[in-house]
Structure 1
Amino acid sequence: MVDFKKRLKNKTVPKKIDPIEIYNSLDRRSETGPLRPSQEKILEDWFSGKKDEKNNIIKLHTGEGKTLVGLLILQSKINSEEGPCLYVCPNKYLAEQVRLEAQKFGIPHCELSTDNSLPDDFLLGSKILITHVQKAFNGRTIFGLDNKSVKVGAIILDDSHACIDSIKDGITIKVKKEHELYKAILNLFSDDIREQGEGSFLEIESGDYNTMLPVPYWTWYEKKDEVIREILKHKESDKIKFVWPLIKDQIANCQAFISGNVLEISPTLVPIGSFGFFSKATNRVLMSATTQEDSFFIKGLGFDVNSVKLPLTNKDQKWSGEKMILIPSLIHDELDRDAIVNWLAKPNDKRSFGVVLLTPSFNRNKQYQSIGAVIANSDDIFERVKELKNGSYESAVVFVNRYDGIDLPDNACRILIIDSKPFFDSLLDRYEESCRPSSDIINIRIAQKVEQGLGRSVRGEKDYSIIVLVGGDLVKFSKSPLTNKYFSSQTRKQIEIGIQVAEFAKEEADDAKPYDVLINLMKQVLGRDEGWKEYYMEEMDRIEGNIQRNSVHEIFAKEYAAENYFSLAEYDKACAIMQELCDHFQKNDSERGWYLQQLARYKYRISKTEANTIQKTAFQSNLQLLKPLEGISYNKLEYINENRILRIKKWISQYKDYQEMMISLEGILQDLSFGMPAEKFESAMQTIGEALGFLSQRPDKEIKKGPDNLWCGVENQYFLIECKSEVSEERSEITKYEAGQMNSHSAWFESVYGQVNCKRILIIPTKALSYHADFTHHVEIMRKNKLKLLRDNIKSFFKEFSRYVLHEVSEIKIQAFINTHKLDINNMRTLYSEPYRANGKNY
């Protein structure tokens, strides 16, 4: 064998450290070409000015080759002898894709062995270790915790936003109601939780999944020793053993939430410092899509504000891929959610491409199954993806609450339906959303989930897809200027194009049927109409820069600093920072209330009396927060002889035009459907009460006593409404528990209001009362057909305004609309409910 090294003039071969030079020297497969301009730009900027910085964020459009950029950066670090180097993906399937990429480009890499031991090639810094987040970020991580962590030179988190979600999941104890720990914690805190909402507590006891309550921070702290003893009994349980090492010394600083079927316990701050292989790594690089908001890296991963403000990105390329975002309801009212889903989700053996639906929950499984769609579950999700990629197109595929981590390029998905606004999954996230629904932070997270969904079907610069947005709540969020500002500039422009396209289609439709108008638009994309492609490119090239959310950056930085001081028992410093956050918002602002509650939680370690005073102020600012130990009172709804029509006009006045009002109304009415989570349903019922000119309250939510909804203010008539939106439509009876709850709330109403005109309505899919149950007051039932009639009449009532200048409709006209659509008090009392049935009789 010839030793060519002997023939070299320089006897040593220096290793290349410039990632572009590394790429040019790799033994790549012939199918690989030169680096793309955007890849070269990122690598040049990193190597010339950022390679020695601890924190870097790289933002590239989908399909621009982020994986290769990351692998080349790590190879540069290995060649510089700055290893070991680690590449972490959100799941094992994406990790396997990255390994295939590394193999294709000839980049040396390794993986964990079958016994989960760390490879020598990784530890010696000679090869990149490619793994997934679940292997790395847990309490028994093979990379070690705290001072026992493996030293890592450089680490990359790919699809970092998805990684944060996985890390949060990995530091949360989550056990079902069958688990002994669930039973023990519910028993330990039953009195404390009941104080936060008697009705909600009874629903939790009955096993209601969507009803949840937090354990108050003060009682959690006082009973922390008992909590530890209960957890220790089960610390080797699969649901606990991977979390316990991370939180065992921080139980006092944890938070707990309990629903009818699950308990969650998690720290108030991600213990990122415990993962020394990440927190102490010399270089940390986060990969992020251009559409994603990176502020969450500050609190979630301990990144500094400057790295978020100044990511590495290719500013010359404003957009990538082609998306026609269609909002069918803007073309015609009959193209609503149900109509579109029933049409597009039907099987079709002649289809030459995939049709995919993304939906936030399993609540609509029955509808999808009846249509013939295939619903992917957690066990077969990647098998379904593989089938689509292999050309199995006959059945539409439904992915539930999977807005990231699945790639459906080219014909795998040419039509993507995003069905309704995403929900949050964890109890912590659901609690935060209920407490601060108009918060910038919550709306950014929702927008981020939507954008993750939008990215599933367009995976490259030349890829294209039709994306259909359905569901009033999603359409409202996407179109309203109050919320669509939270999207990236690229997505805002695509939505704007979608709205324009709907207008163009209506203008040129003549007498065409709404479905034909929609089909013709779709055909133009699928048939690669040159006019559409040129129009799209011209419009997208007008994109302006993304909004800099500096205020959000600073808020996250302060939240992180405050929680960090709190975890170190430096309570005064934590309180001082949290007070600054409180002062950032106006008095009685619900966001101020949220931060006041955090301040009260800190203050409890210093002064319990002061903490309760602050908690009382927080609760008065935001009634969704924890009810303080003492000091709250109920404000009765009093009948005021104020014109109902004036209140209707006041509700309408918040909208600038008819279309904006109807988009909002569609979202509200969609939430007013069986199968919707209780929080959304009851909130919609409150808003509908206001829209119809009533004074409207949610006593159970606001003071933790009384019914779900209460209306009054019209002809001295009260409506006491108990909502059971999540009860299965197959349920045959109203249970003894549900009747008892109505009885309890009726008694509360009588004790507060006395003998007044009150219509008591139970919204539930069945009217049959269990043999074991009885009502103490006259109650009527609103079933699916009556609820639909109410929704239809409300929608018809507001559609009357389309023929007038919205804010100039006379009171006489509005009264006529009320009468025509049977929303007067007499019809409200009689038309939308029916007697319950017991012992073979109607009552």
Structure 2
Amino acid sequence: MGFKSNYQGGTSIESPEALLLDLRNRKIEGLLSHQADVLRVYQGKMNVPDVAMELPTGSGKTLIGILIGEYRRRMQHERVVYLCPTKQLVHQVVEEAKNKYDIHPIAFTGSHRKYNPLDKAAYRDGEAIAVTTYSSLFNSGPFFDNPNFIILDDAHAAENYLVKFWSMQVNRFEHGNLYHQLLETFKHSMPLEQYQRMKSDSATPDDKGWVEKLPTPKFAQLIPQVIPLLDEATPGIDGLKYDWRVLRNHLRACHVYVSWNEILIRPIIPPSTTFIPFSSAKQRLYLSATLGSGGELERITGRRNIERIKAPEGWDKHGIGRRLFFFPETSGIKEESGQVMVNLVKESPRALLLVKDDSSEKYLMEWFNTNTDRTVFLAEDIERTKHTFTSHTNAVAILANRYDGINLAGDECRLEVMWGLPSASNLQERFLESRMSAQLLLRERIRTRLVQAIGRCTRSATDYSVVCIYGEDLSNRLLQHENLKLYHPELQAELSFGREESKQANSVEDFLDMYRIFLKQNSPEWRAADQQIIVRRQGAKQAPDPNIDVLEKAVSFELSYQEAMWSGDYERALENANRVTSLLSGDALKGYRGFWYYLAGCAAWYASQSNENFKAIAQQRFNQAANCTSSVPWLRKLVEFDSLGHVEDQDPYTPVLIERLEFELNKMGTTNDRKFENRVNEILSGLADQTDSKRFERAHVDLGRLLGYNADNTDEDGGPDPWWIVGDFCLTAEDYTETDGKKPISLYKVRQANDHPTWISKKVPGISENTEFVRVIISPSNSVESAAVTIARDVAYWNQESFVKWAHESIAVIRRLRLDFPGEGDEMWREKAIIAYRENGMDPLSIKERLKMSPISSLTILG
């Protein structure tokens, strides 16, 4: 006979810790001591609106979150939503909760129209926790419209999911017609050179990496054109029509960023207080292995006053698992460094490759498919479950821009490869980093992403994996002293050990030997090595940047600024932006301070539309912004300088050259001199060659590119030899070097030089009617035909020997600048580089003045 009684009396469970004891079918004995400690601290914060828990990987984060959710569901009859970044993690959390903890949540993925009616009723009636993705909550018509308690797992990853709800991303390839219509609408609000970059179908890597921001006052004037355009275009585009509904009435609170790949419209910070399903919950609980500091969680979520529960005592020295780092590009094997990854993958049944972008993913996928017998898995292949990958014995998973959301524990994967730096994840971040030099703000975000990425294959205290690092920019972010000290002592020790061992590796086989020893965790060889890491750990100390505290104090005013802008209260927005700038003092925060001066100017400019008194304040703030950065020339053009006694900067070119120099230095890397010195040798030896004109021209082009100019060449008759362009400056050259110098420069050569501007204007994108052409002939000849002088139109002469000497001096300047190059976006380094360019005659205005003193008529005239 079955049980018949149906007693419904009330129950009282005093804590989540006590609840676990009643879950009789759980597969764990009980809580670990640190888990119990965290839960007891949480007991005192049950009614705090926003609580964050820092729980290192492997410390039982899922158990803590799901147990608290179940306790609140049972005892407070709350509707509980547990948010995960990906569908794969949704199913992983549900499976773990059921099989390990005897808690039975329900997975909700896909369209809410296809949710099971019984599952929907169970959630609404508070009978089960709903586990779903961030995007299931943050959309214009969520099923989860009134949760009482929200758990945000991997909260550090929440920004892209939150801000996507308040963002419109118009992709060049997915929304081609709309992208180009918007580009045409914005054409006259950006420099012509930038417009041409975006317009071109054959963009260079530098062009693709460039991001421009539409100045807010110019965008505001275009809003009457933008609204009808997007009203008409978006209804037929599923993804964009919902985004447009959210932003349409708040465009004045948004910013527009333009790149070759996409156009992004978004506010600075997600105005999450305006989204009722999120803001009306009784509590939001943020779970993360790395919460970050400096107010980052508040900026990510748009929530203020988030109370933090720190990592359990003792975790400040001890990390999770063991990682053995390889840095093949810093070893002595040079060109064979890539083979290390290939051979390691061959040694491993499964390997995880984390790459920074889609192009890297495509390249590696094609390479593995063509050159190996490996089965390649991409993100969509393991979205529902990772089982197909983890059960395979000859597989490699390649994931682009996915530094979290995949957990591979134990023997599921022992080899992880990181290919490139996971830096800016959206155009706003790229603008702040590359144009406004707000490195300090983004350094913490990037550090968090790196820590998360490194831990993908070490999920418990006894877990272990090799992490193989590729990319100079990534190596710098991990190994440079000012970056290394920011990490946990355990990770510092692992990185230092890996760097030293990699430097001493002289062959691919050396790395394979270390890998094989590492896999034998109980071997005497590895035990001795592990002891070295432990000793290093004891001497390491994590030292956050002292400016982090300033950023933390500023974040409350940043959120108030965003709220005021969203509601159209521009005077209050200006007041809060002023509070932010008053806090952001010091050189390290100069770039970010400049950005907030600009935002203050935008708020004042909007306020001036109804009150003229704010016009002078807008001018002052824009001028202060321009004084904080040399890399955004249009900032000065926002100011009416006459009334303030200023004159516009006469050199808008050099800051652009320095940004492009950064791109070149990043591409070659700074931890290893080989690529740089090989390139320099090619340039200088090519320029000294008087027998091979094509080699000279190739070197001439590459010298220009190294210095930051947009340099190129053509084989067409009548075209210039190399040309160097930046902004509205164009240096066009006729290289006449295949001579001993005794022949005079001919009429033909001068005629060609005369015609270069006409050819370039017709053939080269980005040339405006305002472009200033400087014509020059480079040659060892010291004489010129008299007829040539007669027709010469401001043609200058540059002696080849003198030009080569100038190239040597210029490269010496680059070499010195490279020694202390800290990475992209450091304003102090940029200012130093600008001064060096001007002092050494490498900037356009100096070159122009130099050549002005050396007309072709100054040579000996023959005939």
Q: TM-score scaled to structure 1, two decimals?
A: 0.71
Deviation string 1:279-319 (CA, Å, 9 cap, x unpaired) is 12111100101475583221222333562xx3242122331
Partner of 1:166: 161
Gap change, CA 1:492 and 1:539, over 3 Å in 2: closer
Match of 2:630 among 618, 623, 626: 623
Q: 1:25 to 1:696 in 2, by over 3 A?
A: same
Distance 2:83 2:96 in 1: 14
Pair 1:663-2:671 in alignment: yes
Partner Cα distance (2:450, 2:761) in 1: 36
Report the equivalent of 1:518. 511
Change (3 A) 1:668 1:241: farther
Aligned residue for 2:843? none
Query: Corresponding residue for 1:397?
Result: 397
Shift of 1:195: 5.1
CA contact (8 A) 1:299 1:557 kept: no
Deviates more, 1:19-28 or 1:561-570: 561-570
Where do 1:287-306 residues align within 5 Å?
A: 287-290=287-290, 292-293=292-293, 295-305=295-305
Give yes or no for contact 1:140–1:245 (8 Å, CA) kept in 2: no
Rounded Cα–Cα distance in structure 2 between residues aligned with 1:257 and 1:311: 36
For the structure 1 residues 26 and 293, does the alpha-carbon distance in structure 2 shift closer, same or farther, using more than 3 Å as the test? same
Aligned position for 1:24: 21
Task: For residues 711-737 of structure 1, give each alpha carbon's deviation from its aligned partner in whole angstroms, at most 9, with x where no partner exists.
Answer: xxxxxxxxxxxxxxxxxxxxxxxxx99
SS of the residue 1:240 aligns to = helix
Matches within 5 A, 1:223-234: 223-234=222-233
CA contact 2:168–2:243 (8 Å) conserved in 1 = yes
Q: Retained in 2: the 8 A contact 1:200–1:212?
A: no
Deviation at 1:217, TM superposition (A): 0.9
The residue matched to 1:248 in structure 2 has which SS? helix
Amino acid at match of 1:254: C
Alignment: residue pair count: 683
Match of 1:465 in 2: 465
1:562 counterpart residue number:
561
Q: Does structure 2 conserve the Cα–Cα contact (< 8 Å) formed by 1:234 and 1:240?
A: no
SS of residue paired to 1:358: strand
In the alignment, the residues of structure 2 paired with residue 382 and residue 737 of structure 1 have an alpha-carbon distance, to the nearest angstrom, of 50
Partner of residue 740, structure 1: 763
In structure 2, do the counterparts of structure 1 residues 209 and 695 end up closer, same or farther at CA, with 3 Å as the change threshold? closer
The answer as to whether partners of 1:196 and 1:704 remain within 8 angstroms in 2 is: yes
On the 8 A contact 2:330/2:672 being kept in 1, the answer is no
Q: Following the alignment from structure 1 to structure 2, what is the Cα–Cα distance between the partners of residues 451 and 262? A: 28
Shift of the alpha carbon at 1:158?
0.7
The separation in 2 between residues aligned to 1:188 and 1:636, in whole angstroms, is: 24
Residues 86 and 129 in structure 1, CA contact (< 8 A), matched pair in contact too: yes
Deviates more, 1:190-199 or 1:295-304: 190-199
8 Å Cα contact 1:160/1:286 also seen in 2: yes
Contact 1:85 1:154 in 2 (8 A): yes
Alignment of 1:318-337 (within 5 A): 318-332=318-332, 334=334, 337=337
Tell me the alpha carbon deviations over residues 171-216 of structure 1, each in whole angstroms, 9 at most, x when there is no partner. 3222333444323322222211245735435437979654443222
Cα distance in 2 for partners of 1:669, 1:134 equals: 48
Matched, 1:614 2:621: yes
Going from structure 1 to structure 2, the CA distance change for 1:337 and 1:220 (only over 3 Å counts) comes to: farther
User: Quick one: structure 1 residues 455 and 612, their matched pair in 2 at CA, closer, same or farther if it must change by over 3 Å?
Assistant: same
- Alignment deviations for residues 677-713 of structure 1 (CA, whole Å, 9 cap, x no partner): xxxxxxxxxxx99x99999566999984446999xxx
* Contact kept in structure 2, 1:444 and 1:487, CA below 8 Å: no
Distance 2:440 2:382 in 1: 32
**Residues of 2 paired with 1:340 and 1:669: CA distance?**
23
Partner of residue 62, structure 1:
57
CA distance in 2 between counterparts of 1:591 and 1:709 reads 38
Aligned to 1:99: 94
Deviation at 1:222, TM superposition (A): 1.8
- Alpha-carbon shift at residue 323 of structure 1 (Å): 0.7
Which residue of 2 is the match for residue 590 of structure 1?
A: 591
* Partner Cα separation in structure 2 for residue 534 and residue 669 of structure 1: 38
Q: Distance in 2 between matches of 1:758 and 1:278?
A: 70
- 1:94-147 deviations in whole A, cap 9, x for unaligned? 111111122222214234475347823222323211111111101222234xxx
How much has 1:25 moved relative to structure 2?
A: 0.7
Q: In the alignment, is residue 185 of structure 1 matched against residue 178 of structure 2?
A: no
SS of the residue corresponding to residue 764 of structure 2 reads helix
Deviates more, 1:310-319 or 1:622-631: 622-631
SS of the aligned residue for 2:553 comes to helix
Instruction: Give the C-alpha shift of residue 738 in structure 1.
Output: 10
Aligned pair partner of 2:649 in 629, 633, 639: 633
Superposed CA RMSD in Å reads 4.4
CA distance in 2 between partners of 1:547 and 1:232 (Å): 47
Which of 334, 354, 357 is matched with 2:350 structurally?
354
Query: Which region of structure 1 is more displaced relative to structure 2, 19-28 or 293-302?
Result: 293-302
Give the distance between the partners of 1:560 and 1:589, measured in 2 at CA.
20
1:590 shift after superposition: 3.1
> TM-score w.r.t. structure 2 length?
0.70
Task: Report the CA distance between 1:26 and its aligned residue.
Answer: 0.8
Aligned partner of 1:241 in structure 2 is 241
Residues 775-794 of structure 1 aligned to structure 2 (within 5 Å):
none
Using a 3 Å threshold, how does the CA distance of structure 1 residues 254 and 324 change in structure 2: closer, same or farther? same
- The worse-fitting range, judged by mean Cα deviation, of 469-478 and 330-339 is 330-339
Is the alpha carbon distance of 1:42 and 1:668 closer, same or farther for their aligned partners in structure 2, counting shifts above 3 Å?
Answer: farther
Distance in 2 (CA, whole Å) between partners of 1:398 and 1:670 is: 31
CA–CA separation in structure 2 for the residues paired with 1:493 and 1:739? 58
Alignment of 1:530 with 2:530, yes or no, is no
Report the alpha carbon displacement of residue 355 of structure 1 after superposing the two structures with TM: 2.3
1:473–1:211: structure 2 CA closer, same or farther, 3 Å change rule?
closer
Give, as a single letter, the amino acid of the residue that structure 1 aligns with 2:106: C
Report the alpha carbon displacement of residue 462 of structure 1 after superposing the two structures with TM: 1.3
Contact 2:557 2:580 in 1 (8 A): yes
Please say if residues 354 and 399 of structure 2, whose CA atoms lie closer than 8 Å, have aligned partners that are also in contact: yes
Consecutive unaligned residues of structure 1, counting only runs of 5 or more, are 145-149, 639-650, 652-659, 673-687, 711-735, 760-775, 779-789, 802-843
Percent identity for Structure 1 against Structure 2 = 18
More helix by proportion, 1 or 2? 2
When structure 1 is superposed on structure 2, of 62-71 and 417-426 the one drifting more is 417-426
- Distance of aligned partners of 1:202 and 1:391 in 2 relative to their CA distance in 1, 3 Å threshold: closer
Give the residue type in structure 1 aligned to 2:222.
K
Look up the match of 1:44.
Answer: 40
Change (3 A) 1:694 1:223: closer
- Mapped partners of 2:341, 2:113: distance in 1: 44
Partner of 2:132: 131
Task: Determine the C-alpha separation between the residues in 1 that align with 2:113 and 2:405.
Answer: 24
**Which stretch has the larger CA shift, 267-276 or 175-184?**
175-184
Code of the residue aligned with 2:544 in structure 1: it is I
User: What is the aligned partner in structure 1 of residue 691 from structure 2?
Assistant: none
5 Å matches for 1:678-717? 704-706=727-729
Whole-Å separation in 2 of the counterparts to 1:137 and 1:367: 33
Give, as a single letter, the amino acid of the residue that structure 1 aligns with 2:239. Answer: K
Q: Judge conservation of contact 1:64–1:460 (CA < 8 Å) in 2.
A: yes
The worse-fitting range, judged by mean Cα deviation, of 298-307 and 537-546 is: 537-546
Q: Which residue of 1 aligns with 2:67?
A: 72
| Contact 1:375–1:399 (CA under 8 A) maintained in structure 2 | no
Deviation, structure 1 residue 430: 2.1
1:316 aligned to which of 286, 300, 314 = 314
Deviation of 1:561 after TM superposition, in Å, equals 2.1
| TM superposition shift of 1:403 | 0.9
Task: Give deviations 1:136-162, integer Å, cap 9, x for gaps.
Answer: 101222234xxxxx2x32110111122
User: Structure 1 pair 139/576, CA: closer, same or farther in 2 (3 Å)?
Assistant: same
Q: What CA distance in whole angstroms lies between the structure 2 residues aligned with 1:384 and 1:698?
A: 48
